[in-house]
Amino acid sequence: MTAPYLLSATDAIKKIQSNELTAEQLVRACIEHIEEKEPITHAWVSNNFPAAIERARYLDRSANQGMLHGIPFGAKDLFDTHDFATSYGSPIYANNRPSADAVHIAMMRQAGGVLLGKTVTTEFATFKGGPTTNPANPKHTPGGSSSGSAAAVADFMVPLATGSQTAGSIIRPASFCGVIGYKPTFGKISLGGSKSLSPSLDTLGSFSRTVEDAALCVAAMTGDRELANIKNINAHIKIATCLTADGSLASKETIDAIYQSSIDIGKLFNTPIADYKLPALFSDMSERHSRIMSFEATKSFTFEQNNYSEQLSQQLKGLIKLGNAISYESYSKDLEIAQTAQMELNRLFNHDVDILITPSAIGEAPKGLAQTGDPIFCRTWTLMGLPCITLPLHLGPNGLPIGIQLVAGKGRDSLLLSVAHTMMNLQR
């Protein structure tokens, strides 16, 4: 019998429903594995294992509570939880005890999920590295800012974990750790109860080891139950590769991964794969993203600057300094141009292409924990508000994962998941 902690959430649910496995057995197996792996991985800020076991026992005595019945998960410590401290990765909030769960956490619990604890986030979901190591090689960064969630799933501590992305904080760590990171369409998941970094960009999402689980997790987080029913693709799919204007920064192994994936997906769907070059309007879109993020972050952390400036990291102070140098007029212009670009991409996805294949990150996870890697290949797509998913399909020269990112049109999450699911099945 497969060890319960190795099961996907989807397979675990089937076993629980058929009485081959109990929620308590699954939760205990994950806890034992966490206790074994955590001294090296450092994925967690806090846990309450006795409460999780009691919750599992309650679920075993109860009628089916919903689509996550009995499934353990981790929550990024950027999200409020009524029964755990929520520090947002900062010493300023070390003793912060929210009175309510973030909306998506409450919905996951309502669906029968068992929260095992809070996973490590970088400081306010920005760029200062944390204690978490990469399960693929502990000498390398797991990425950020959702470092703990990506590592916990990659190390088989939990089948599901939640994350957020403002630049590349779901896609990049998922790529580095070799798991599936899914950032849905902007606004699909409520931000209620989440510490804001940049309201125009902040997007919540999931980490998992299968596409089915990614769909299941976000379905529970949103109430969009139909999302979990991944459909077969019967129509002709138009697919293209796209390196964006920052393509020259991609490593050879990333370019090779994109090329090989384009061959595989072309054969899989019996379709030619074009190479799409974004219009000139997109030539500096990653810089516009960076300015919008910096400007809004400066406003988001006004209270912390006024009251706890000495407890902010130098990295965050640098981000705030950049934001302070940006005028409101310049910020508004960047937003206006971004909106024009969004309309341009809407036309692209309505007429010319269904899925873009693009890099998830520059390459393998960099060595060291002080920095979390460059989000350059996620900035444009995050600014555009498009659904993205990274698939762990390749390895680099150091044996570390290389993800490839699929991007779909706004609101076309179901199509994105269908294509991703088909591609992952090809690898089995």
pLDDT value of position 234: 80
Q: Outline where 352-406 has alpha helix (H).
A: 376-384
Distance CA 325, CA 381 (A): 25
Cβ-contact 72, 59 below 8 angstroms: no
DSSP line for 197-255: S-TTT-EEEEEESSHHHHHHHHHHHHS-GGGGSPPPP-S---EEE---TTGGGS-HHHH
Eight-class DSSP state of 130: -
Distance CA 99, CA 55 (A): 19
Going along the chain from its start, the domains and CATH numbers come out as 4-228 (3.90.1300.10)
Sheet bearing 355-359, strands edge to edge: 44-47, 114-119, 72-76, 160-165, 203-208, 180-183, 388-395, 401-408, 355-359, 239-241, 273-275
Q: Where in the sequence numbering do the catalytic residues fall?
A: 76, 145, 169
Q: Give the β-pairing of 114-119 and 44-47.
A: antiparallel
Identity (one letter) of the amino acid at 66? G
Residues of the chain with pLDDT under 50: none
pLDDT value of position 428: 59
